[in-house]
Amino acid sequence: MNQQIDSLIKKAEDQKGDLIELAKTLISYQTPAPPARNTDGVQSWIAGFLHDMGFSIDKWDVYPGDPNVVGLLRGMDSAGYHSLIINGHVDVAEVKENEDWEHNPFHPIEKNGFLIGRGASDMKGGLACVLFAVKLIREAGIELPGDLILQSVIGEEVGEAGTLECCKRGYHADFAVVADTSDMHIQGQGGVITGWIEIKSSQTFHDGTRRNMIHAGGGTFGASAIEKMAKIIAGLGELERHWSIMKSYHGFKPGTNTINPAVIEGGRHAAFIADECRLWITVHFYPNETHDQVAAEIEDYINRLSDSDIWLRENRPVFKWGGSSMIEDRGEIFPALEVDPSHPGVLALTASHEEVKREHPVIDVSQSVTDGGWLFNAGIPSVIYGPGDLHNAHSVNEEVSIEQLVDYTKIMLDFIIRWCSGKKEQ
């Protein structure tokens, strides 16, 4: 096996030009989200590529024009050997007309040892490496004992959780690698949930009655929902400060768990007292927490605050959490992901990294979020591990080191073969 792997690693180096051309092909498909609904072309290309490599293909629309693709390469002894999911998303960050790109972001170029184009770092570069590694394995005639599942998903950039749909469809494995932007660190992540807090008055008042509800003797029980929302925003700030003092997680700077009042909507017309107001918040939480847990903490705190306010006590805030799409229903969830450094999959990936790079990989936490949380949430031990860095993700003139792409391909070659050739623990 060692000789076969060494031979493939040499081929990855010798054929790096083909690897870069594959990455350029993926980048050339224009798949920004928003606007989304534009991934069918690249997903059909990937489905054809995997089919030619001997994978059985499952392709289905998550949204019209945005299909998931899952390729399954059944192992020779699936029951006895490790199975592996490798996951990546084909949507990329949006590109606005006034961005100062040096060239067309979807006509990738090579410059000074870097591949430049939208998605080079996040994360078509990593996806290209995985596809190229599979191609080299299949061309070498290597038959894996364990199952290999490649998930090419949609929607990650706008919280549409194509990966969640894969989990709902029943795809499972002994270990999963999300080939997303991590600078080749082995990473876990915190989580994110968005939520709406809505206040609605039981009555609507003309603006001429404002004096009656704010001055002595007015005799009108009423209030502006906008002004009451300001009280709730202040309460969220108090809870956020409490979290920053009382909660921590190794690898995160103190206070990384935040409650961001992102969007506020309210009132109906200047001639009315505002009878409703909605606040859209984004909550970041630590890997050892769940989105249900932090949502419940926020609800409890705001409900206690409302108990202390005479008007809010009668006009209770209403909460709506999460959502399946920032585009469709203005909401999203990214579950957290905790890495167990002692898990056999993490140890095997560490060994493959060390074999190629001659150095121990960094094991830490991402400062962003990925679809890895959905795999972990489904009971699959998972890590984020891919080329590219967050400095370049979503950036103008997005780039990734070609040397890093080649190294990542070599590591994944080694890891796929060794992991899928390892016997399951009894």
Q: Residue 180: how many CA atoms within 13 Å on its side-chain side?
A: 32
Query: Cα torsion at 339, 342, 347, 349 (round to 10°)?
Result: -10
Quote the CA–CA distance of 352 and 354 in Å, as a whole number. 5
Quote the CA–CA distance of 285 and 371 in Å, as a whole number. 15
CB burial readout 178-205, b (16+ within 10 A) else e: bbbbbbbbbbbbbbbbbbbbbbebeeeb
Which of 66, 122, 147, 156 is the catalytic position? 156
Name which of 66, 58, 92 is nearest 180 in CA terms.
Answer: 92
**E strands in 132-220:** 148-153, 175-178, 186-189, 191-200
Quote the CA–CA distance of 370 and 34 in Å, as a whole number. 17
Which of 66, 91, 332, 407 is the catalytic position? 91
Q: Can 91 be counted among the known catalytic residues?
A: yes
Q: Can 425 be counted among the known catalytic residues?
A: no
Amino acid identity, position 244: S
What positions carry a catalytic annotation?
91, 156
